[in-house]
């Protein structure tokens, strides 16, 4: 049974700015080392689009979380690093939850999550389905 869906869009240009600002802590406070490594390892030196898609995925998870304590849109304390985007060897994205977010997801009865990403020109989009 589907227990939550979420969708979000992010502007890639904002992540170009973050990548070009060595003083910002935004990247290290919102992305896991694995996500940053994935984005930087992709071809064309265009890490920003992969980060934008991952940011959209994290926001989409928060939307899909609905009113779950510790996860929903009203909870501004969500640590974005606790929502991690991974990729299979074939490139398909998936979600791994950690810490408080993992606890909230478990309380929702979620057993499977589904994620789809796309990026084109200056926009990245993510859709999430949480399933019990």
Binding stretches for ligand COA (CB under 6 A): 50, 53, 87, 90-93, 117-120
Give me the residue whose beta carbon is nearest to ligand COA.
Answer: 91
Q: Pick the closest to residue 59 from 121, 4, 129, 9 (CA basis).
A: 9
Q: How does 61-86 read in b/e, with b if 16+ C-beta sit within 10 Å?
A: bbbbbbebebbbeebeebebbbbbbe
Output the six-digit token pair for 93: 């994205």
Nearer to ligand COA (CB atom), residue 34 or residue 109: 34
CB of 118 to ligand COA, least distance (A): 3
- According to DSSP, residue 31 is labeled S
- 3-state DSSP call for residue 81? helix
Q: Closest CB to ligand COA among 23 and 120?
A: 120
Compare residues 22 and 91 and give the one whose CB is closer to ligand COA. 91
In terms of CB distance, is 100 or 123 closer to ligand COA?
Answer: 123
Shortest separation between residue 121's beta carbon and ligand COA, angstroms: 10
Min dist. Cβ of residue 74 to ligand COA (A):
28
Residue 124 · residue 53 · CB < 8 Å = yes
Closest approach, Cβ 116 to ligand COA, in A, equals 6
Question: What six digits make up the tokens of 128?
Answer: 């999430």
């Amino acid at each position: 049974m589907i227990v939550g869906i979420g969708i979000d869009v992010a502007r890639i240009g904002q992540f170009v700015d973050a990548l070009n600002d060595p003083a910002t802590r935004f990247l290290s406070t919102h992305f896991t080392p694995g996500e940053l490594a994935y984005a930087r390892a992709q071809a064309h030196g265009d890490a920003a689009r992969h980060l934008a898609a991952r940011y959209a995925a994290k926001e989409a998870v928060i939307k899909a979380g609905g009113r779950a304590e510790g996860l929903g849109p009203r909870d501004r304390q969500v640590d974005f690093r606790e929502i991690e985007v991974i990729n299979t060897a074939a490139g398909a994205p998936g979600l791994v939850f950690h810490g408080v977010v993992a606890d909230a997801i478990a309380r929702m009865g979620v057993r499977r999550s589904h994620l789809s990403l796309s990026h084109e020109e200056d926009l990245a989009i993510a859709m999430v389905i949480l399933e019990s």
